[in-house]
Amino acid sequence: MATKNYRNCVRMGNWNENIYLEEELMKDFLEKREKGQLLIQRNRILMTNLLKKVKLSSTGDGYVHYGDTVIVLNPACQDPHIDQVVFGRVALAVTPEEMKAHMSNEIEVPCEVTAMHDATPMGRNTFILMSMDGNAMGEPIRYGLDFGLATTAGFNDKMANTRIIIKHCHTNRALAANRNFFLRTYFGKECEVACHTHLDCYRIEKPLNYWVFCTGDPNDLSSLLVDKPRPSSEDTLVEKQASTKAQ
């Protein structure tokens, strides 16, 4: 019968090495926590940035400009020629991969985009309209000019809050919200976005390709100007009469 040769308080094996290893692990944990490098902290930072409220740019001249912060909105539409599963208006949004969202506190590029139903201005669905050469910031965007989206006979200025077609520079294909497909993302079910020109029988782009650069309401930059009720004809007439009298 085996008998104990040592008391319970006697340590055996690599006990000293194990203690140092545990201390090093604790120091490493505390250091990462102080620097915000723990996975849960990184994920929390990324989610905070993606879901934080954002103020949109307001337009005084009716145009959008390089440097403006906008929502790229696909208006509500119904296409009888497709098996549509996504209805209502949807807003272009960045959608990082779930694994990368857990591993990083920043959006890694390239990053997938989808179209979300929530049009409330937030980090995910607001974009800055960037000049490709960086020298035109503040100038109106004209039809036919190139621009970038950062994570919001002659050329005419691009009107804000009106429907447009956005085309990819290299393929000349139009940006589309494919409403007959949805994707399961980290944020739930959202509409698929792709570069594909949907044409009707008259060779005209379908509403799936329509987008709107939505600016903010000057009285409340956290809301969309397109959601602001339009004044009735009577109110407009009163305003014109008041303006005429003031002059």
Q: Taking phi first (over 0 means left), then psi (-120 to 50 degrees means alpha), and beta for anything else, what does residue 205 get?
A: beta
**Joined tokens for residue 104:** 């990083």
Whether the per-residue pLDDT at 73 is higher than 90: the answer is yes
SS3 79: coil
Extents of the domains making up the chain? 15-49, 52-223
For residue 116, name the pLDDT band (cuts at 50, 70, 90): very high
CATH class (in words) of the domain with range 52-223: mainly beta
Residue 26's pLDDT is 80
Residue 228's pLDDT is 76
Neighbours of 157 (CB within 10 A): 16
| Residue pair 181/85 in contact by the 8 Å Cβ criterion | yes
Phi and psi torsions of 91, nearest 5°: -115, 135
For residue 235, name the pLDDT band (cuts at 50, 70, 90): low
Q: What is the mean pLDDT of residues 94-102?
A: 74
Residue 96's pLDDT is 81
Whether the per-residue pLDDT at 152 is higher than 50: the answer is no
214 beta partners: 71
The pLDDT mean for the chain works out to 79
The 10s digit of each residue's pLDDT in 12-59 is: 667 677 777 777 878 877 777 777 666 666 667 777 878 888 899 998
- DSSP H helices in the chain: 15-35, 39-51, 98-103, 233-246
Instruction: Select from 85, 106, 79, 19 the least CA-distant residue to 209.
Output: 79
Residue 99's pLDDT is 67
Whether the per-residue pLDDT at 238 is higher than 70: the answer is no
The 10s digit of each residue's pLDDT in 178-190 is: 998 888 888 888 9
Whether the per-residue pLDDT at 153 is higher than 50: the answer is no
Cα 146 to chain centroid, rounded:
20
